Amino acid sequence: MITQRIHGNGGAAVLRWPVWIGIVCDDLESQRHFYRDVLGLKELKSGEDFAWFDFDGKLLELLAKSPLPQYDRRRVSFAFEVDDIHSARAELINRGVEAVTEVEGGPKSGQYWAYFKDAEGNLFELVQRLT
């Protein structure tokens, strides 16, 4: 399983992310700042219309809006797995990340989850599995 600590500001929350993801951005620079400076992902390469970030060997790709039909996507949603959702949620809120929900779920569902928004309003989720 892939893990990454949220870097900077003494971050201790551990995220697990098993897949690649791409996000089409209205403002590429604000998104680069969010994923690089707020979440602490390492920027691998960037250009006028894209930025690539490393997540322990997996790729997060930010793309500027394009008139090409294959990039006509508006929003995405993805999840990071964490060991302690309450401390990870508190840490993200402390960094200025907008929380959309409180921590939900519990033993009956086998996991806890909470939703957040990035700098452009794309949803992402934290999940803590209980098994």
| Token reading at 40 | 């602490």
- Residue 59: the pLDDT is 80
Task: Provide the CATH topology of domain 3-129.
Answer: 2,3-Dihydroxybiphenyl 1,2-Dioxygenase; domain 1 (3.10.180)
pLDDT tens profile 43-95: 999 999 999 999 777 788 898 887 766 555 566 767 888 999 999 999 999 99
- Residue 86: the pLDDT is 96
pLDDT tens profile 8-35: 555 556 666 554 678 888 899 999 999 9
**Running DSSP on this structure, what letter comes out for residue 28?**
H
Where do the structural domains in the chain lie, given as residue ranges?
3-129
- Residue 1: the pLDDT is 42
User: CA 19, CA 38: separation in Å to the nearest integer?
Assistant: 20
Mean pLDDT of 100-128: 90
Single pTM value for the model: 0.63
- How many Cβ atoms sit within 10 Å of the Cβ of residue 108? 7
Instruction: Tokens 């098994």: give the residue.
Output: 131
- Residue 9: the pLDDT is 54
User: CA 105, CA 103: separation in Å to the nearest integer?
Assistant: 7
- Kindly give, in sequence order, each residue whose CB lies less than 8 Å from that of residue 60, ignoring residues fewer than 6 positions away: 20, 21, 22, 23, 35, 41, 52, 53
